[in-house]
């Protein structure tokens, strides 16, 4: 355990000014109506850690319908479980974009059974923060702060756990994880983000309830993976996922990425080394590109490359990524295959280089490749490293117009030349672009002459 003697007692005065004004305004309105209002959860924990919170949540003894009656703009996304989202508390006084998500206001409650592994089947509303704290996942998330008086409540000794650098469940750990399997990933994320060591009973409870993760939706898993990669130590998170046998449950089929002759531990060590090279704070597309990489060692044949890529794409799809995220990750993998072929070429042309490095995902290709190399994924030699450096410098030195010059030939030119419409059109336009990028076709006249000189079958009795 790493002691954190610098841990501070949370105070409202350390909230960012606009968040403080929102919290105070909401608490005043609730108090005027005769209700309690406490800041709770992540914001209070972050204040204790000296981290500026990015948002605030409130807990109250007001029932959901009372909250809706007190605030003009609300969304009842979790009304059955006591949660109402309140919007636009201060109107135009603050940047509306920041508060477009709203502030969650949840009624004190105790939870019944979690038969679906996500939400309680029934809730019982309570009257105190102490009662409310007993249903929360970790002690560090069971901290309460009064926005008006700055009174601090810590019914589960979460601040002491933070000071001691430990992560501990509220109550019986196996029950907490069985209630909601996503808490298993939250355990790993909090450990990596805040450098907290789970206590033995929490780890034992996680192992006992590990199968509850299989009932968590892919969207919720993906959101937690995003937080894990964005943490300060994603390698630590990966190690814990492996230790608790959670990775296969989070991404079913991921163990199939292991090649013949390779063990899960070996691939895990390689991935951990790559993550460590990049450090923390990774974007989701970079983390997923590494986690599900089809061929980190660049050992596949061309045919095996396609099989591996298809398998990795299928795994990625199981996480239900957005179209944009899926495109970024898959195109990164395709770019790495192209890069390997480029490095293996005796003398890659300028077109070969530019068609690769002008990809939108080129920075992602570059970062993942360097990470795998530094992790020891293969011995490609000094020449390959020099070429990679040269590719990066060449790309950085070109304007967008040089990377994407105006085409010298278009579809209408092929039609005028009498070439039948079909796949050949794409091949000819692609070849013309390559010649243009290589400097072999310098202007439109040269391109038209090149097209006319081709011995292509012509329609209309050519």
| pLDDT of 174 above 60 | yes
| pLDDT of 88 above 80 | no
| Residue pLDDT, tens place only, 151-164 | 999 999 999 999 99
Q: In terms of CATH, what superfamily is 12-158? A: Beta Polymerase, domain 2 (3.30.460.10)
Length of the chain: 462
Cα(first)–Cα(last) distance of the chain, in Å?
A: 82
- The runs of H, that is alpha helices, within 318-410 are 323-344, 350-357, 362-374, 381-396, 400-403
User: Which of 378, 398, 301, 384 has its CA nearest to residue 348?
Assistant: 384
| pLDDT of 113 above 90 | no
Q: Which residues contact 77 (CB under 8 A, 6 or more apart)?
A: 83, 85
Confidence band of 265 (pLDDT split at 50, 70, 90): confident
Strand-pairing partners, residue 248, are none
Strand-pairing partners, residue 276, are none
Q: What is the DSSP letter of 3?
A: -
Name the residue ranges covered by the structural domains of the chain: 12-158, 227-403, 411-453
d(CA 55, CA 15): 10
Confidence band of 2 (pLDDT split at 50, 70, 90): low
Which has the minimum average pLDDT: 85-94, 161-170, 243-252, 446-455? 85-94
User: Which of 141, 177, 174 has its CA nearest to residue 157?
Assistant: 141
* CB-based burial, 118-154: b 16+ in 10 Å, e otherwise: ebbeebeebeebebbbebbbbbbbbbbbbbeeeebbb
pTM of the model: 0.86
- Only one residue has tokens 């650098």, namely 165
* pLDDT in the model for residue 76: 80
| Residue pLDDT, tens place only, 325-373 | 999 999 999 999 999 989 888 788 999 999 999 999 999 999 999 999 9
């Amino acid at each position: 355990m790493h002691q954190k003697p610098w841990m501070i007692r949370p105070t409202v005065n350390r909230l960012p000014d606009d968040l403080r004004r929102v919290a105070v305004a909401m608490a005043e309105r609730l108090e005027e109506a005769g209700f309690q209002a406490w800041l709770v959860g992540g914001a209070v924990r972050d204040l204790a850690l000296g981290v500026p919170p990015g948002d605030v949540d409130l807990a109250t003894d007001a029932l959901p319908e009372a909250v809706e009656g007190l605030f003009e703009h609300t969304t009842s996304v979790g009304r059955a479980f006591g949660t109402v989202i309140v919007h636009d508390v201060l109107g135009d006084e603050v940047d509306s974009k920041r508060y477009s998500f709203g502030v969650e206001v949840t009624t004190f409650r105790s939870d019944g059974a979690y038969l679906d592994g996500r939400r309680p089947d029934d809730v019982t509303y309570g009257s105190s923060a102490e009662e409310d704290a007993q249903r929360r996942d970790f002690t560090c998330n069971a901290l309460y702060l009064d926005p008006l008086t700055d009174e601090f409540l810590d019914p589960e000794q979460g601040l002491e756990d933070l000071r001691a650098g430990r992560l501990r469940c509220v109550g019986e750990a196996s029950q907490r994880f069985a209630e909601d399997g996503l808490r298993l990933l939250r355990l790993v994320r909090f450990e990596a983000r805040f450098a907290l060591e789970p206590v033995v009973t929490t780890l034992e409870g996680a192992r006992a309830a590990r199968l509850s993760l299989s009932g968590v939706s892919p969207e919720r898993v993906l959101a937690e993976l995003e937080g894990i990669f964005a943490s300060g130590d994603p390698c630590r998170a990966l190690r814990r996922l492996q230790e608790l046998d959670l990775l296969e449950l989070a991404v079913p089929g991921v163990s199939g990425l292991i090649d013949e002759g390779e063990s899960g531990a070996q691939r895990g060590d390689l991935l951990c080394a790559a993550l460590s090279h990049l450090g923390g704070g990774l974007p989701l597309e970079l983390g997923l590109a590494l986690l599900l990489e089809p061929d980190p060692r660049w050992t596949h044949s061309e045919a095996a490359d396609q099989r591996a890529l298809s398998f990795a794409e299928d795994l990625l799809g199981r996480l239900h990524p957005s179209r944009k995220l899926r495109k970024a990750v898959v195109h990164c993998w395709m770019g790495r295959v192209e890069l390997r072929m480029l490095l293996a070429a005796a003398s890659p042309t300028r077109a070969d280089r530019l068609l690769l490095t002008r990809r939108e995902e080129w920075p992602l290709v570059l970062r993942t490749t360097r990470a795998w190399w530094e992790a020891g994924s293969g011995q490609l030699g000094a020449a390959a490293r020099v070429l990679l450096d040269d590719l990066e410098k060449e790309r950085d030195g070109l304007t967008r117009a040089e990377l994407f010059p105006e085409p010298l030939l278009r579809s209408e030119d092929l039609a005028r030349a009498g070439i039948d419409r079909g796949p050949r059109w794409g091949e000819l336009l692609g070849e013309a672009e390559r010649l243009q990028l290589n400097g072999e076709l310098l202007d439109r006249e040269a391109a038209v002459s090149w097209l006319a000189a081709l011995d292509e079958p012509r329609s209309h009795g050519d």
